[in-house]
Amino acid sequence: MVEKKGSSDGGENPLDLFLKIGLDERTAKNTVANNKVTANLTAVIYEAAVTDGCDRTAGNLLYTVATKFPANALVHRPTLLKYIVSSKIKTPAQLEAAFGFLSANASETLKVNEFEEACGVGVEVSIEDIELLVNDIFEENKPKILEQRYKTNVGELFAAVRKRQPWADPKIVKQLIDEKLVALLGERTAEDNAKPVKKKKEKPAKVESKASKEETPAPNPSEEELNPYSIFPSPEENYKVHTEVYFSDRPVLRICNTKELLEKHLKATGGKVYTRFPPEPNGYLHIGHAKAMFIDFGLAKERDGCCYLRYDDTNPEAEKKEYIDHIEEIVRWMGWEPFKITYTSDYFQELYELAVALIQNGHAYVDHQTPEEIKEYREKKINSPWRDRPIEESLRLFDEMKRGMIEEGKATLRMKQDMQSDNPNMYDLIAYRIKFTPHPHAGDKWCIYPSYDYAHCIVDSLENVTHSLCTLEFEIRRASYYWLLDALGIYKPFVWEYSRLNITNNVMSKRKLNRLVTEKWVDGWDDPRLMTLAGLRRRGVTPTAINDFVCGIGITRSDHSVIRLDRLEYHIREELNKTAPRTMVVLNPLKVVITNLEAGLVMELDAKKWPDAQSDDSSSFYKVPFSKVVYIEHTDFRMKDSKDYYGLAPGKSVLLRYAFPIKCTEVILGDDKETVVELRAEYDPSKTVKPKGVLHWVAEPSPGVDPLKVEVRLFEKLFLSENPGELDDWLGDLNPNSKAVMPNAYAVPLLRNATLGDKFQFERLGYFSVDKDSTSKKLVFNRTVTLRDSDAKVGK
């Protein structure tokens, strides 16, 4: 049961209003549960003057206006509502056309004739006209319809009608198409109702001609796909109304800059785009921050503008120099160059002076409630008993707070916002707290520190940020952001929110990441299993792959998206496939003695670093020794052969990559008579045998000398569940097999001189990178990502 919410002005319950305009009960109740949509729809109903109700068609259109109306065109909303209420605009198609027109002409005086033409106002399409058009469409597509019968894509027929007659009633169009199908094809048969049989995919031809690829060009990408930053307005447009803040006791605040404020701002910036990447220095950055960087730095770069790296350092207890240094270093590793590095603490004096002005204007007060009391009063929407204390008294107390004369926890400065609002982020948020803690950047000058909600928006304004971009959980704070800037009478940036980047089988919460690190569930902030940027770098992931992944996702506002890990791995493979040379490593070596090869003979064979290596390019090859003792993977041998197995078995032949076919002639077992400890085999120097299986291998570089021994670390998903962050016992979901160490792997001599960060493809095993734990005595490799399933057949 959904409780009816009373309107803030004592008027009619929102639920009753929504039912009156024809919304079904379920939609109405779901709407009431969403504060933002409730506020928007209530405002639309009053603006349209239909508080006594209207027909369902108009009501559904009003609901669409409340949820989808372009924010930059709010000044034209009352006009659109008149067209809806008078039934001049009465279909979803007309409404979508209206949105498009108003969004494109938001700042101009509405040209009625052009608007009505764009929306089909006054255009009446009769049933006879629709019927004639449907007949034409069927006639044009008749052979295809007769062939496909009821498997015909009705959506395509519908789209063809809409293209020629966009203002036709969609219900009538659908009805006529269905009737026409029955008239042409007759009643459905059993075959029509049968599910289509999936055809087996034919094997592609070995060589695909270049022309065949060009014959089927990819569909043209949208403007947003070509340029994801095209959705953002220019700085000169920041005089438009793009946000409304609703109050319980005063008129709606329509957010825009005055001409004077905007001119002053544009003079300071030269009309350039200014953005900021504002991390808190309280932990290491993760892949979600890579998306934020892509948006903040990327927009500035695309518009030839500037992006600050601003440390949001308002909490001295959680911040460390280690994190500050890491952030600057990892931002540059990701390929971004800050226009300027700033700290919120650089502005502590300005922030303090503006807080004094806020008190003087009656917009803030010193409060003495405990955190528990504040929480209780907010839940009950009750004003603090100190909310209406005299301005002079708050000024005196705030000065005493600054001078360290009041104990920590005994007073805060709170903004006087709207305790009766439907938005809890307007419940008199705290602006300043007392903390007798030295600041890592500002030293011991201050004992009062501003909150994020107070400082963030002001510093955006002081730095003349044009676009303040943040994740969707901050959308509910937009009202507070603009309330404060409006109360201070200073420049207002354009605010826009995008969805957080969440990836399956991982956690992104800094609090959870901190627990994993401090409680030693993982090996530090740069553990290769973590989605921290330091961890991804140590694993061998490149900045290019990360940025391509983020770009591929797009700048979406979808609030519930969890991106599959596979998508990130795809971009990692795409990058490493082009940059990582091939080589061979055996993880779990099984000794194979070649009985028909002369003892002491070592052949130096050519192996390819790249699949398309040209024979005349010596740099594309490396030398690999082939001798009497070679090593293969334990998993590449079985005692029993089978049809679908490509590895080695008694009496069976395989090809050693870049070398010769070998045939297993004898199996040496351990004392338990089960464990295979060694194989004997014969090689085919003439290569007349053509086995199906191809194995990677490593040989003794000289008689009696072991191959290069290396350590290899294999990583799997850190968590078993796709969305562990939603679990109560999320630590219990950790994958006990997320890390496997192979301490005695063998590698070809090429790897002897590998250095930290070098990347390779170990054939049939995946892509690997040299780890920081490597020493002069032993190299350590991390597996970055496996090969595609079709490429890896180890043990199959």
pLDDT, position 5: 40
> What value does the mean pLDDT take over residues 748-766?
96
Catalytic residue among 96, 280, 302, 682: 280
Lowest-confidence region among 150-154, 380-384, 650-654, 782-786? 150-154
Lowest-confidence region among 245-254, 367-376, 618-627? 245-254
Can 512 be counted among the known catalytic residues?
A: no
> What value does the mean pLDDT take over residues 775-786?
96
CB atoms within 10 A of CB 96: 14
pLDDT, position 225: 59
Residue 125 has pLDDT above 90, yes or no: no
- Residue pair 532/526 in contact by the 8 Å Cβ criterion: yes
Residue 78 has pLDDT above 70, yes or no: yes
| Residue for token pair 């014969």 | 682
Residue 217 has pLDDT above 50, yes or no: no
Name 369's Cβ contacts closer than 8 Å, sequence gap at least 6: 377, 384, 385, 386, 412
pLDDT, position 75: 84
- Residue pair 722/505 in contact by the 8 Å Cβ criterion: yes
| Residue for token pair 């120099």 | 321
Which bin fits 536, alpha (ψ -120 to 50), beta or left (φ > 0)? alpha
Core vs surface per residue 117-129: b (16+ CB within 10 A) or e: ebbbbeeebeeee
E strands, 566-620, where? Answer: 582-583, 585-586, 589-594, 603-608
> What value does the mean pLDDT take over residues 582-602?
96
Catalytic residue among 174, 272, 500, 567: 500
- Cα 364 to its chain centre, rounded Å, is 37
Residue type, 760: F
- Residue pair 44/81 in contact by the 8 Å Cβ criterion: yes
pLDDT of 325-373, one tens digit each?
999 999 999 999 999 999 999 999 999 999 999 999 999 999 999 999 9
Closest CA to 360 of 393, 333, 335: 393
Alpha-carbon distance of 616 to 776, in angstroms, equals 34
Residue 224 has pLDDT above 70, yes or no: no
pLDDT, position 440: 87
pLDDT, position 794: 52
pLDDT of 369-410, one tens digit each?
999 999 999 999 999 999 999 999 999 999 999 999 999 999
Give the pairing of strands 430-434 and 412-415: antiparallel
Alpha-carbon distance of 624 to 630, in angstroms, equals 11
The chain-wide mean pLDDT, for the chain, equals 88
DSSP 228: G
> What value does the mean pLDDT take over residues 773-781?
95
CB atoms within 10 A of CB 733: 17
pLDDT of 513-561, one tens digit each?
999 999 999 999 999 999 999 999 999 999 999 999 999 888 877 655 6
pLDDT, position 197: 52
pLDDT, position 615: 84
3-state DSSP assignment of residue 548: helix
Give the per-residue SS3 of 654-672.
Answer: EEECCCCEEEEEEEEECCC
> What value does the mean pLDDT take over residues 781-786?
97
Alpha-carbon distance of 44 to 187, in angstroms, equals 47
Residue 68 has pLDDT above 50, yes or no: yes
Residue 622 has pLDDT above 80, yes or no: yes
Burial of 784 (0-12, 13-18, 19+ CB in 10 A): buried
Residue predicted with more confidence, 136 or 580: 580
pLDDT, position 731: 95
pLDDT, position 790: 44
CA atoms within 13 A on the CB side of 373: 12
pLDDT, position 529: 97
Can 198 be counted among the known catalytic residues?
A: no
Residue 795 has pLDDT above 50, yes or no: no
> What value does the mean pLDDT take over residues 562-591?
95
pLDDT of 145-189, one tens digit each?
888 888 887 777 877 887 788 888 777 888 888 888 888 888 878
CB atoms within 10 A of CB 299: 23
Percent of the chain with pLDDT over 70: 92
Catalytic residue among 477, 478, 510, 764: 510
Residue 59 has pLDDT above 60, yes or no: yes
pLDDT, position 146: 87
Residue 685 has pLDDT above 60, yes or no: yes
Can 510 be counted among the known catalytic residues?
A: yes
pLDDT, position 172: 85
Alpha-carbon distance of 270 to 264, in angstroms, equals 10
Alpha-carbon distance of 415 to 353, in angstroms, equals 15
